Amino acid sequence: MEYGGGEIYLRDLALLAQSMGFDVTIFQPAQVQKITQLDNGIYIQSMPMKWLGLELVDLFTKLKLNDFDHLHFLNFKWVYPWRFKKATGTAHGIWWDIPSSGGTIKNIARMHVFKNSIKRLIAVATDSTSIVNLVRSNWPRLASKLHYIPNYVDLQLFNSTLYDKNDAKFKYFAAKIPDRLVVLIPRRLETYRGIWLMFEAAVRAIKTNDNVFFWFVGDGSEKDLLITKVKELELEERIHVSGSIQHGLMPEVYAASDIVVIPSLGSEGQPLACLEAFALKKPVIATLVGDLSDLIIQRFNGILVKPSLEELEKAILDLASNDQLRDYLGENALRVAKVHDKKLWEERYTTFFESFVQSN
């Protein structure tokens, strides 16, 4: 089974609840209705869901009728417009800053759902200081419902001492790029994730520096077009699009890289990819979007740039030509990763659940 950041978060949260003694069932939107049991005994009930459609009404009716100890919404906004006596939620990342997010009326409607979703929940865990500040600024009476739990990385899996860069690089690229510097882009291949901004920056950087190699890892709606563009420009030896790679293999992917780039245009919280790169001692170049500035201290463990072609290209070329700076940023990146250890995240969520679940 392949996981993205959201699925990993859900899996680990479900496993934590299970370790606390709860029998966990996951309900998720899907195209077809089915029940799947995972190896750990957790059930996933996939339900066809359409916003305000009969399927969604049916699902929430079942949730109300069943005798659950508690409901936790991984996307806290799914609680709206229903009400449950025993419900908490997670606000994981932001969404309102996407350039194509819609006009004023659409955004007003979204904020109405946002505010009233918080009202309907006992408490909301969030890894986003942007969300905390938004609520404090606009609905200060709701701020007490928010509980800040920073995102995390599994330092046992993403352990920099277990992987050799040269071995990992050879595994994925054989003799193609033994001496080239690898720039990794571990993101979904979507426009709002800055994929085309990154592609343009890569094409320009290649013309300036013959030593850089760009590696896109992830799936998405732009994947086929991106591969086509690479072929049209005959850049297969300098840009590689591999698609999704199993999460358990991602430590080797990071180990094989020299620089990691997160070029998002919007809708960015504290991305798992950033913390995973930190754990493997990789310097991160990221756009100044969402909560990325909570993770990256400028020129201490990474580099923050405007989401502009010129700034992104310059940051890549500057870092590619500065071994000493890459090493300095990488060492500090690991220090930051350690304060985002999964064990700390589990302790904070355990306290959260003990406070708002077992007491209700």
Domains 5-152+342-356 and 160-338 share a fold: yes
Each residue's pLDDT tens digit in the chain (360 positions)? Answer: 456 788 899 999 999 999 999 989 898 777 777 888 776 788 888 776 655 444 555 666 666 656 677 899 999 998 888 888 789 999 988 888 876 656 666 778 889 999 999 999 999 999 999 999 999 999 999 999 999 999 999 999 999 999 887 787 777 765 455 578 999 999 999 999 999 999 999 999 999 999 999 999 999 999 999 999 999 999 999 999 998 999 999 999 999 999 999 999 998 999 999 999 999 999 999 999 999 999 999 999 999 999 999 999 999 999 999 999 999 999 999 999 999 999 999 999 999 999 998 544
Residue 203's closest CA among 179, 231, 239?
A: 239
- Annotate 92-155 with DSSP letters as a single string: -S--TT-TTS--HHHHHHHHHHHHHHHHTSS-EEES-HHHHHHHHHH-GGGGGGEEE----B-T
CATH top class, domain 160-338 = alpha beta
284 forms beta bridges with: 260, 302
Spans of all domains in the chain = 5-152+342-356, 160-338
Four-way CATH pick for 5-152+342-356: 3.30.30.10, 1.10.3720.10, 3.40.50.2000, 3.30.70.920: 3.40.50.2000
Please list the alpha-helical segments (H only) found in 190-304.
195-208, 223-232, 250-255, 272-279, 292-295
CA distance linking residue 335 with residue 153, whole number of Å: 12
Q: What secondary structure letter does DSSP report for 298?
A: B
Global pTM reads: 0.92
Structure tokens at 255: 């180990």
